[in-house]
Amino acid sequence: MGAGKSAAARSLAGARGTRALDADKIIERQTGKTIAEIFDGDGEPAFRALEERVVCELLDAASPDQVISLGGGAVMSERVRKALERHLVVWLDVAPAVAWRRSGGGRRPLARERGAFEALYAQRRATYEALADAVFPDAARQALAAASPALELLRDAPSGTLMVWAASASGSYPVWVGEGILEAGLWPLERPPSRRFLVSDERVAPLWADRLGELDGTFLIAPGEASKTLAGAERVWRALVRAAMTRSDHLVALGGGVVGDLAGFCAATYQRGVPVVQVPTSLVAQVDSAFGGKTGVDLPQAKNYVGAYHQPAAVIVDIATLATLPAQERSAGYAEVLKTALIAGGSLWERIGSGATLDRRDILDCIRCKLAVVAADERDGGLRQVLNLGHSVGHALETATGYARYRHGEAVGLGLLAALRLSGTSELRSTVEALLAANGLPTRAPDVDAKTVIEAMARDKKRGPAGLELVLVEEPGRVRHGVLVADEEIERAVVELTGRPSRLATRGRPYAGSDQ
């Protein structure tokens, strides 16, 4: 209730050249009564029996182009759920407070008392989630017409593939998550008119580039953070000029976070902007860096100091690519999963915090968490800063060690420990430390100079007039951004990781956060 299903169905049907069918309206037309009158006069069981019959008749008779809007409780019927297996199910995911604001306290029989309404929402949510082939957040419910081609591609994707629609102030795009998507040839941009130019690294390209179809140009970089520089970007730009790439073409970023950041930055700046399709092949990229539109390169003094916001045209998350990911890289990606679970709380933290084996659902939930944050704050004006959790000390460690000693995820894991120490959550810190260790990640940074780390934090690009701002954790799901912390507290947290006094004579200046 209150998700906007009827309006969204009409919009999608119009884009597909057909007319939407609304199950509730058909029931009212057949009975000559409103839904409220049926509930009040005949009772909910009678309504549910009628609803089940009408919905199953609609689903059985539906053509491939038909769009049907179902009542919020229709899918609680086992018979309806069985009938839906033959169809593409779109879930409009709306927050309970928003749904109540739109539908509560009025004539809807099940939306008259807020407590009961929210309990019903909680009861049904798991069913909606389990049935959905495509998830549209409330911010994107008006985008269904534009998403029609992406939904059509989803129909032909490998079984089990899911789609999430990403929405932000500057644009929206589809995210497909599944196994074997590249092998199936799913692609968001047609060729022609848009030709494909690949940016990848020398390890990943031999493994997966042949699944991308015909390419009109390929540029490979050396693996690792050392390639993510202005000089590296210039080499890509020059290669694209030599290949005669135009603004009607697009880049493909096949690889981990380094490739995604570099290729995204080149796409944002080449001829003032060309589309980029992100194809993340590392865990850290699949759960975090491929989404949200942050692109950039490093300077020797600081990480990600030069960049641009540039949302992708699409993201293809093929879980199969993780099979060729080295164990150390997979472990490094786990730190970003852990960070996201701390931010999200709820069921994601329950699974990750328990030490459960990572699965596709966890990857999908990490993606949805990040996309929800970006939808609310694309340009880091507030909420998006929570994604910097653990990245303050993490980025500084990478910078202080010349981007050579720690993988990004390893540094983020260490940064999480520092952030949790500063948060005063010692029990949670112990849990996170044990999870990091169990997944092969470092929990100490021996022989790293704390002074150099703190100096790198002082150059953080999030620095404002009052100082740098940290992200701290009260408990999983309750994360605060913009927290100023005294420099001596920062120093103690860093020294705890390095085991070496910093010998810094700084007092009273607040240090803190970093961009993720």
Residue 105: per-residue pLDDT: 82
Residue 463: per-residue pLDDT: 67
CB-neighbour burial class of residue 78 (10 A; exposed 0-12, middle 13-18, buried 19+): exposed
The whole-angstrom separation of Cα 69 and Cα 5 is: 6
Q: What is the mean pLDDT of residues 19-40?
A: 96
Residue 509: per-residue pLDDT: 39
One fold for 5-152 and 162-325: yes
Phi–psi pair at 134, nearest 5 degrees: -135, 140
Domain 162-325 CATH class label: alpha beta
Order of strands across the sheet with 217-221?
90-93, 134-137, 162-168, 171-178, 314-318, 276-280, 250-255, 196-201, 217-221
Q: What is the mean pLDDT of residues 248-268?
A: 98
Sign of the Cα pseudo-torsion (392, 393, 398, 400, in order): positive
The whole-angstrom separation of Cα 317 and Cα 53 is: 38
Residue 205 CB partners (closer than 8 Å, separation 6+): 198, 218, 220, 254
Residue 14: per-residue pLDDT: 95
Residues in the chain: 516
CATH topology for 377-511? Dehydroquinate synthase-like, alpha domain (1.20.1090)
Tell me the residue type at 405: R
Residue 512: per-residue pLDDT: 35
Residue 473: per-residue pLDDT: 98
The whole-angstrom separation of Cα 498 and Cα 452 is: 11
Least confident span in 116-120, 233-237, 457-461: 457-461
Q: What is the mean pLDDT of residues 291-314?
A: 95
* Of 512, 301, 501, 511, the residue nearest 400 (C-alpha): 301
Tell me the residue type at 484: L
Residue 465: per-residue pLDDT: 72
Q: Going by DSSP bridges, is the β-strand pair 196-201/250-255 parallel, antiparallel, or unpaired?
A: parallel
Using pLDDT thresholds of 50, 70 and 90, give the confidence band for residue 500.
low
Q: What percent of the chain has pLDDT over 90?
A: 88
The whole-angstrom separation of Cα 378 and Cα 371 is: 9
Res 515 pLDDT > 80: no
CB pairs under 8 A, 24+ apart, for 214-220? 215/252, 216/243, 216/245, 216/249, 217/243, 217/245
Q: Which of 327 and 487 is assigned the larger pLDDT?
A: 327
The whole-angstrom separation of Cα 165 and Cα 188 is: 13
Using pLDDT thresholds of 50, 70 and 90, give the confidence band for residue 209.
very high
Using pLDDT thresholds of 50, 70 and 90, give the confidence band for residue 502.
low
Q: What is the mean pLDDT of residues 93-120?
A: 92
Residue 514: per-residue pLDDT: 32
User: Cβ(343)–Cβ(369) under 8 Å?
Assistant: yes
Q: Name the residue ranges covered by the structural domains of the chain.
A: 5-152, 162-325, 377-511
Res 516 pLDDT > 50: no
Residue 226: per-residue pLDDT: 94
Instruction: Measure the N-to-C terminal CA separation of the chain; round to a whole number of Å.
Output: 36
Q: What is the mean pLDDT of residues 361-368?
A: 96
Tens-place pLDDT, residues 440-464: 999 999 989 999 999 999 887 766 6
User: Cβ(363)–Cβ(287) under 8 Å?
Assistant: yes
Q: What is the mean pLDDT of residues 206-223?
A: 97
DSSP state, residue 289? I
Q: What is the mean pLDDT of residues 236-263?
A: 98
Res 310 pLDDT > 80: yes
Residue 513: per-residue pLDDT: 35
Res 377 pLDDT > 70: yes
Q: Going by DSSP bridges, is the β-strand pair 196-201/470-475 parallel, antiparallel, or unpaired?
A: unpaired
Q: What is the mean pLDDT of residues 304-313?
A: 96
The whole-angstrom separation of Cα 275 and Cα 18 is: 31
CB-neighbour burial class of residue 403 (10 A; exposed 0-12, middle 13-18, buried 19+): buried
Q: What is the mean pLDDT of residues 154-170?
A: 95
Domain 5-152 CATH class label: alpha beta
The whole-angstrom separation of Cα 55 and Cα 304 is: 52
